[in-house]
Structure 1
Amino acid sequence: MTAPPPLLVFTDLDGTLIDHDSYRYDAALPALAALRRIRAGIIMASSKTAPEIVTLRDEMGLCDWPAIVENGAGILPPGDADAGGGDAYVRLRAALDDVPPPLRAQYCGFGDMNVAQIAQMTGLPEKSAALAAQRAFSEPGLWTGDSLERGAFERELAQRGIHAREGGRFLTLSFGRTKADQMSDIITRYQPGATVALGDAPNDVEMLQAADYGFIVANPHRDPLPPLDGETAGRIMRTELPGPQGWNRAICDLIKRLKLE
């Protein structure tokens, strides 16, 4: 039987492990190497689709670990290329289109765009944008109305069983499960010595608070998260450096703090 990992890392991607602008993670390579040396588990937890995650997980050499996809709406098993999903996305789009037209018109989801438009909005190459368009569980998009209209929009969605969650770039719609929900199941499965979560956006808050240690990674492209429970006690910390640079420093410092290497 494989021994439990000494540390299980749950990490957001865009704006956290991956640079907001360049989509690169080179600055985090030293920490990733250190985690491999101590046999830690690394769980990607992102709004990205399974096809996007498969490519990144393979590139980073993390295929032995599951990944949380589409903001927690789905799970990608270790070594698998399919997270399932069934007709969830079709039902989600149908419910979205049932929202009163004046509100519906102010939300532009990935399903309302072609690949070229998704590439332009995200800054992704078209090949990557095509993977982002392959939704199974959730719908990211941009809200163009004001805050009062957004409240009405979210209430309409809630009546149809849809949750709206703000991420690093988009307002993402799904039928419910969160990154923290999937995180709990994965912890139960692997029984790690300790857990750490890293993220930069509102949809990461529950995950940060559920871990033994949490790091709010600086992202100069968005407003910082408000103070969270656990910060005063030092269980949740903030990085000074942004994106993968902050991620790298946080993980290296935690490994030393826990005397794991």
Structure 2
Amino acid sequence: MQQPLPLLVFSDLDGTLISHDSYRWDAARPALAHLRSIGAGVVLASSKTAPEIIDLRAQMGLEDWPAIVENGAGVLQAQATDTPPDTEYLRLRTALSQLPDALRGLFQGFGDLDAAGVAKITGLPTADAQNAKTRAFSEPGLWHGTDTQRTAFLRALEQHGITAREGGRFLTLSFGQTKADRMAQIIAMYRPQVTLALGDAPNDIEMLQTADHGVIIANPHRTPLPPLDTEAAGRITRTTLPGPEGWNRAVLDFVDQLTPKQGRHP
């Protein structure tokens, strides 16, 4: 009889499991190894594309688990190495082109840039920037207008069924579905005993609140998230260390609370 999954971790990437500055995740290796040793799963949940996630998931040894891609707009199945079709992305870009020029010109999406341009605004190497441009479900970009213009832009998009989510750096457009929506689907599939979610940005809030326990990872490069509903009750906590260092400590401490007698990797 198959043993129940003891823990399923859902993790944002940029600013959470991956350093905002260096794009490295080495500091989280001890916690990732310890999760593997206890049979826990890790689902990456990011605004990144399938090609980006495929590479990162392989580097981290997490190919056995699905991943939430493009801010929840899609799911990359476990072991998958193929990029999903871009039908939905092309439909989104067509809707963008139909907006008034006065609004459309204030949003600079990845599709408006070549790989070098995406590399410049993300800090990614050019090859990785090309993967970030290979989209199937959503369009991230930079907003260059006022808050009033942004409201008008979003209202115009709503007429096409498009919604926007604010992440660590970009405003991401899609036809709906959030990280929390995809998280619920994956939980129903694996039925873990406990769930843990970690993130740092507004687009992570629903995911943090959906999990049995959430951790807000410190990110000195952005305004801290406001107090969340379940934070006062202790279901959501915050780290003092940023990025993968904070992720590593938070995960090891959480596993300690679950299995205090088993000890953990230091």
Which stretches in structure 2 are left out of the alignment for 5+ residues? none
1:33-58: CA deviation from partner (whole Å, max 9, x where unpaired):
11011110000000000000000001
Counterpart for residue 224 of structure 2:
224
TM-score (norm 1): 0.98
Distance (whole Å) between structure 2 residues aligned to residue 172 and residue 86 of structure 1: 16
Counterpart for residue 156 of structure 1:
156
1:20-41: CA deviation from partner (whole Å, max 9, x where unpaired):
0100001111111110111100
Counterpart for residue 53 of structure 1:
53
Distance (whole Å) between structure 2 residues aligned to residue 48 and residue 86 of structure 1: 14
What secondary structure does 2:165 align onto? strand
Q: Pairwise CA RMSD of aligned residues?
A: 1.0
**Paired AA for residue 249 in structure 1:** R
**Paired AA for residue 19 in structure 1:** S
Q: How far apart are residue 97 of structure 1 and its match?
A: 1.1
| Alignment length (residue pairs) | 261
Distance (whole Å) between structure 2 residues aligned to residue 200 and residue 130 of structure 1: 25
1:170-226: CA deviation from partner (whole Å, max 9, x where unpaired):
000000011000000000010101000000001000000000000000000000011
Distance (whole Å) between structure 2 residues aligned to residue 4 and residue 144 of structure 1: 48
What secondary structure does 1:54 align onto? helix
What secondary structure does 2:198 align onto? strand
- Contact 2:50 2:84 survives alignment (8 Å): no
Distance (whole Å) between structure 2 residues aligned to residue 127 and residue 5 of structure 1: 36
**Paired AA for residue 199 in structure 1:** G
Q: How far apart are residue 159 of structure 1 and its match?
A: 1.2
Counterpart for residue 91 of structure 1:
91
Which stretches in structure 1 are left out of the alignment for 5+ residues? none
What secondary structure does 2:158 align onto? helix
Counterpart for residue 209 of structure 2:
209
Moved more, 251-260 or 198-207: 251-260
Counterpart for residue 19 of structure 1:
19
1:32-181 alignment to 2 at 5 Å?
32-82=32-82, 84-181=84-181
Counterpart for residue 191 of structure 2:
191
**Paired AA for residue 55 in structure 2:** T
What secondary structure does 2:47 align onto? coil
**Paired AA for residue 242 in structure 1:** P
TM-score (norm 2): 0.96
Distance (whole Å) between structure 2 residues aligned to residue 86 and residue 150 of structure 1: 26
- Contact 1:213 1:236 survives alignment (8 Å): yes
- Contact 1:75 1:83 survives alignment (8 Å): no
What secondary structure does 2:223 align onto? coil
**Paired AA for residue 53 in structure 2:** I
Counterpart for residue 6 of structure 2:
6
Counterpart for residue 245 of structure 1:
245
Distance (whole Å) between structure 2 residues aligned to residue 227 and residue 83 of structure 1: 37
Counterpart for residue 28 of structure 1:
28
- Contact 1:77 1:83 survives alignment (8 Å): no
Aligned residues with identical type, % of pairs:
63
1:223-261: CA deviation from partner (whole Å, max 9, x where unpaired):
001110110000000101000011011000000111164
Distance (whole Å) between structure 2 residues aligned to residue 108 and residue 156 of structure 1: 16
Q: How far apart are residue 85 of structure 1 and its match?
A: 4.2
